[in-house]
Amino acid sequence: MTVHPPAPFYGRSDVVSALTKHLDAVRNHGQGRIVAVRGRRQVGKSTAIETFVRGTDVPYVFAAGTLGAPTRTQVAEATEALTSSARPLSGVEMVQGLSLNTWRDWFRAVEVAARQGPVVVVLDEFPWAVAADPSLEGTLQNLWDQTLEALPVLLVLVGSDVAMMDRLAEYGRALFGRLRPLVVDPLNPAEIAQALPHATPAEVFDATLVTGGYPRLVTDLARSGGNVSRYVADSFADLYSPLVSTARFTLDAEFPDSPAAARVLAAIGADETTTPRFNDLIPAGLEDSEVTRYQTSTTRALRVLADEKRLVVKETPAWSSSTGRLRRYRVTDPYLRFWFRYVERSLELISRGRADHAFARFERDWSSWRGRSVEPLVRESVARLAPDDATLESIEDVRAWWTRDGQTEVDLVGVSRERSVLLGTIKWRPGGEISRREITHLRGVIGTVPRSGDALIAAISPEGLPVDGADLTFSAADLLSAWRA
């Protein structure tokens, strides 16, 4: 059996820095803080927080909730964490052999330790503990207001249920006004580049599209040598490889009892254009009554996916209202887009040992699919570049633009409050050349895109080669620089 060394720790300097600042404030002022950390499953929240606590000299406890476990079991496991910490809280020996039956008892032990000096308390998967004991929020609020807030306690509540973690901070909830949010996102392209030091900027973006920045997948790719195509081929040969299995675990956890949302997510994720219209999500050939039922369930599912789960984003053209009827939907997570496109539809082949057929599907249209799927990432990169570029600094938003009939589309429109500052064409293909004819076509839509009369024209490709007629060019290296701190 091959034994891999511990997974290296990439990026996350922003998360560790934010937590360090909170701890410094607790130390300097002697007042407690609650930080609510949220992020999707598999994005590396626990690893980042564990790295933070191990890097301090402060006593800490790292306890984790257990899905479906009763409160007594959760408290017992949290008590064991008190005594097994690498740097235990002061006085923890007093609880050894004692039975802490409730969360109130457990937090009282934390209180005793905090009276001796600063402590860090991490409750991972806090939503699972709340699910077992709905009174936990109220108990924590009472203890926090009575004693803990006046002590040097950094309390870190961690959760993968994004909607639930958001609701913790809502008006009317017990912890309202007491939480400081911290979001842990997947690794960004610059952090992926750190994991793949020999990759070109274009290869880093390929890796982003395939792994979505999930640390487990990025590490797996790095260990395989960093070549995306070879990594996909090797992963398809193993039904239980991280690339094949991670999405399934995530989706099973996100949608245990919501088949409609899972169905709509799969339809959006596997769509040829990656951004289907609303009516494209309804099967053809249904009776009127069935269409109405599907419309209702689809509307509800889209609301869950966009507003609660945040797995789908609704896109509208530049200069259009976010509530307008001209809209498209896109799976926000690049890895899930890849998975729905190339893995889900090939699971049967992979399970039957026909990875060669599954990989052939990938090879056939990876180039064209990549060209479409990279566009949101390019737009976000340009938005990040704009503030530091005197030519583009007035840009406040970067979106695509398209007509109602879909006959005309502009890949990138950078807008300020008054005008369209930039129109861009994105051609993410081998060779990366953009023709003068394509630039001429883009110039031809000036005046059709709202407020674009004096807009600059940009050519965006992996190599960023100069093109006659283009005012600006952006390469993969330029875009990657936008993500570096």
- Convert 153-188 to b/e letters by CB count within 10 Å (16 or more is b): bbbbbbbbbbebbbebbeeeebbeebbeebbbebbb
Instruction: Kindly report the number of other CB atoms within 10 A of residue 389's CB atom.
Output: 13
The pLDDT value recorded for residue 281 is 67
Q: Do 334 and 212 touch, CB atoms closer than 8 A?
A: yes
pLDDT at position 279 = 66
pTM, two decimal places: 0.88
pLDDT at 7 over 70: no
Whether residue 426 contacts residue 369, with contact meaning beta carbons closer than 8 Å, is answered with no
Instruction: Answer whether 159's CB lies under 8 Å from 38's CB.
Output: yes
The per-residue b/e assignment along 238-254, b for 16 or more CB within 10 angstroms, e otherwise, is: eeebbbbebbeebbeeb
- Output phi, psi for 97, to 5 deg: 85, -10
The whole-number pLDDT of residue 180 equals 95
CA 231 to CA 251: how far, in whole Å? 22
Give the per-residue pLDDT at 272. 57
Q: Does residue 40 contact residue 160 with C-beta atoms inside 8 Å?
A: yes
The whole-number pLDDT of residue 4 equals 47
User: Please, what is the end-to-end C-alpha distance for the chain in angstroms?
Assistant: 40
220-251 pLDDT per residue, tens: 999 999 999 999 999 999 999 999 999 988 88
Q: What pLDDT is stored for residue 95 in this prediction?
A: 59
Residue 53's contacts (CB-CB under 8 Å, 6 or more residues apart) are: 60, 62, 87, 120, 122
Q: Distance of CA 217 to CAs 196, 243, 330, 355, 368, Å?
A: 12, 6, 22, 19, 23
Q: What digits encode the pLDDT tens for the residues 349-374?
A: 899 988 999 999 999 989 989 999 99
Mean pLDDT of the chain: 89
Residue 470 in this model has a pLDDT that exceeds 70:
yes
Which residue in the block uniquely carries the two structure tokens 């840009």? 395
pLDDT of residue 264: 84
In the chain, pLDDT over 70 holds for what percent of residues?
A: 93
Q: What is the pLDDT of residues 130-159, one digit of tens each?
A: 999 999 999 999 999 999 999 999 999 999
Domains of the chain: 13-183 (3.40.50.300), 190-373 (no CATH), 375-481 (3.40.1350.10)
Contacts of 338 (CB under 8 A, 6+ apart): 209, 210, 212, 373
